Amino acid sequence: VVELYYWPGLPGRGEFVRLLLEDAGIEYVDHARRADGMKRMLALIAGAGAGLAPFGPPFIVDGARTVAQTALILHHLATKHRLVPEDRAVEALQLQLTIADFIVEIHDTHHPIGGGLYYEDQKPEARRRAADFLAARLPKFLGWFERVLAAGDGKHLVTGVPSYADLSMFQVLAGLEYAFPNAFERIASDIPLLMELRDRVAERPRIAAYLASERRQAFNQHGLFRHYPELDP
């Protein structure tokens, strides 16, 4: 059984791992939903486990191995459970690492100065950062992913095979629509293949069941994707 550690109360980066686990039908314990989960998580970060202590969540304990870094967790699980063909593993990881870069920039729209400061203490900077993000970075990232689909089979980011990168892109698009509904509506017609990918992922039987379950957490104002109307004019 895979043990997942993440902050309670927000989907955050933990959700990318949950989507893979749910879609693959891998049994897991979600410590974010357990009363003692946070305490155990902090102890492991402080070095209570065997091997390399994680810098931060999400991380998993999978048998004797502790694995941190979202993209690496997905790569590890996909390799172990043969979810992505061996000769396509590097492509999947490259896509996921680009998603990781994208996520940092999405997060930094509301925390451009410091992750440890309140949003309220960096509002003017957040406005400038979000404006540049929506004008330049959002179309650049989404445009690249759309071209990846167009150059391949049109359906999967790793062409020809479903992969965790598709699941993560579903989550990114859902989060962007929550955080920036106006900007998302403007850009949606430029990314038809990504929009279709999002809908197809939501219809995958295990994902559909997960999304309808109480295990799925709604986006909220604590996570990576936050909705501040003033950042989405």
Ligand X SMILES: N[C@@H](CCC(=O)N[C@@H](CS)C(=O)NCC(=O)O)C(=O)O
Interaction site with ligand X (CB under 6 A): 12-13, 56-58, 69-70, 100
Cβ 122 to ligand X shortest distance, Å: 16
Residue type, 30: D
Shortest spacing between CB 46 and ligand X, in angstroms: 13
Nearer to ligand X, 13 or 204 (CB): 13
Closest listed residue to residue 11, CA positions, set 131, 167, 122: 167
Task: CB nearer to ligand X: give 95 or 191.
Answer: 95
Q: Which is nearer to ligand X, 14 or 134 (CB)?
A: 14
- Number of neighbours of residue 176 by Cβ within 10 angstroms: 20
Alpha carbons 92 and 221: distance in angstroms, whole number: 30
Closest to ligand X by CB, 74 vs 193, is 74
Which of 29/100 has CB closer to ligand X? 100
**Cβ-proximal residue to ligand X, closest one:** 56
The sign one gets for the Cα dihedral 47, 53, 55, 56 is negative
CA distance 55 to 6: 12
Least distance to ligand X from the beta carbon of 190, Å? 27
Shortest Å distance, C-beta 59 to ligand X: 8
Of all helices (H) and strands (E), which one includes residue 30?
Answer: strand 28-30
Structure tokens at 149: 């689909």
Q: How far is the CB of 189 from ligand X (least distance, A)?
A: 30
Which is nearest to 142 in space by CA: 107, 173, 104?
A: 173
